[in-house]
Amino acid sequence: MPLNKDAASAGKVMTTMAPYPVVPVPDDWSRPYWEGAKEQKLMIQRCQSCGHYNHPPQFICLGCKERDTTLEFEPVSGKGTVYAWFIHHDTQVGGFEDRAPYLVAAIELEEQPRLLLTTNLLNIAFDEVELGMPVEVVWEKANDDITVPQFQPSPS
């Protein structure tokens, strides 16, 4: 049974969020993530002491809380499952007013429980999204510097 019975968005499919009127601005903490994305690699910060992934990047490892560890970005598979999702109807988000409604989801990456990444869900009807469904990263070039990781259903 479809989870969403919203008549305004039932059956709607977003195939892209492009063109991107607003793009991320990398800072020292997120730069490795965005540099990886530009090469279509999903890079997540990982503790070199305990192996815990931290996302978004942290000052100290959230796994072991060790202050002296090294935190490095490592590539992950880009596969995961839908942990939470909603249909975004708010037209107050600057630059995306004309996109609403669209899907926003927290993806639990397969590398670690509760390793969550917030994204849009593309290429699926709004009323076909299910919690726990397998998804994979799909890359959207926003401009020459920024490529955005989005997610779509994994082929079955």
| Three state DSSP letters for the chain | CCCCCCCCCCCCECCCCCCCCCCCCCCCCCHHHHHHHHCCCCEEEEECCCCCEECCCCCCCCCCCCCCCCEEEEECCCEEEEEEEEEECCCCCCCCCCCCCEEEEEEEECCCCCCEEEEEECCCEHHHCCCCCEEEEEEEECCCCCEEEEEEECCC
Site for Zn ion (CB under 5 A): which residue of 9, 52, 108, 115? 52
Interface segment toward Zn ion; rule CB under 5 A; list 17-25, 63-71, 90-98, 111-119: 63-71
Site for Zn ion (CB under 5 A): which residue of 37, 61, 76, 129? 61
| 47 is an interface residue for Zn ion by CB under 5 A | yes
- Would you say 5 or 67 has its CB closer to Zn ion? 67
Interface with Zn ion: number of residues (CB under 5 A): 7
Interface contacts to Zn ion, rule CB under 5 A:
47, 49-50, 52, 61, 63-64
